Amino acid sequence: MTAQHIINSLEFARKSLEIRDTIAHSDLQRAKDLLKQETESLNWRLTGEIGLDKKARLHLIVTGNVAVPCQRCLEPMMMALDIKSEFILVNDESEIPPEEDDVEDHDYLIAEAEMDLLQLVEDEILLALPYAPKHEINDCAVKAEVNELKAPNPFAVLRDFKVVKS
Ligand SMILES: [Zn+2]
C-alpha cells in the first residue's frame, strides 16, 4: 500500500520540505482503469519553496513507464512519463490572476491545511496521458491493410496515348 500523504501545503513550501515516494498502478484510483497491468511503479517527488517573488510554490516531478492501451490493437503500449509541474499557492480564487493577465500561464493551487498529495500526483498523471495512443504501424498487432497502394494497372497507361491522325 502506498502511504497516504497529507500535507499543509503552505507550511510545506515555507519550510522548503521535500517528499519522495512511488505509487503503484494498483494504488491509482482514477487512472487505474485507463492503464494496463504492465504499468510500472511511478516515482514522484514534491518540493516546496518560497520564490524570490515571495510566492509559495510546489514543484512536482513524476517519472516512470506506463502502459496505455493502443487504440488500434488494444495491446499495451509503453510510454515514459516525465512530468514536471509547478504550482503557485494562493489563499483563495480571488488571488488567481485572470488568464489574459497571466502571460506565463502558471498553474495555481489553493492552499490547504490538509492537502492530499496522491490526488495531485494522480491529477498530473491523468493530464499527461495521451488521448488516443497508437503504436507505430510496424509495431502494432493490427497491421495496416497490406499495401493500399497496388501496382499500377498496365492498361491505365494506354489511356494516356493519344491517337494522332496523320
Ligand atoms: Zn497497436
- Tens of pLDDT, residue by residue over 106-155, are 899 999 999 999 999 999 999 999 999 999 988 898 875 444 445 556 55
Q: Residue 1: inside a domain, yes or no?
A: no
Residue 166: which pLDDT band, with cuts at 50, 70 and 90? low
What is the tens place of the pLDDT at every residue in 53-112? 999 999 999 999 999 999 999 999 999 999 999 999 999 999 998 888 887 888 999 999
User: What's the pTM?
Assistant: 0.81
Q: What count of residues does the chain have?
A: 166
Cα of 157 vs centre of ligand 1, distance in Å, is 38
Cα of 86 vs centre of ligand 1, distance in Å, is 33
Predicted confidence at residue 146, as pLDDT, reads: 47
Cα of 30 vs centre of ligand 1, distance in Å, is 23
CA neighbor of 31 nearest in space, from 101, 83, 98, 92? 83
Task: Tell me how far the alpha carbon of residue 71 is from its chain's centroid.
Answer: 17
Q: Which residues pair with 78 in a beta bridge?
A: 67
As for how many domains the chain has, the answer is 1
Cα of 148 vs centre of ligand 1, distance in Å, is 19
Predicted confidence at residue 46, as pLDDT, reads: 98
Cα of 37 vs centre of ligand 1, distance in Å, is 16
**Strand pairing category for 115-116 and 42-50:** unpaired
pLDDT, mean of residues 31-59 = 96
Cα of 129 vs centre of ligand 1, distance in Å, is 16
Q: Residue 55: inside a domain, yes or no?
A: yes
Cα of 140 vs centre of ligand 1, distance in Å, is 4
The residue range of the domain holding 106 is 6-142
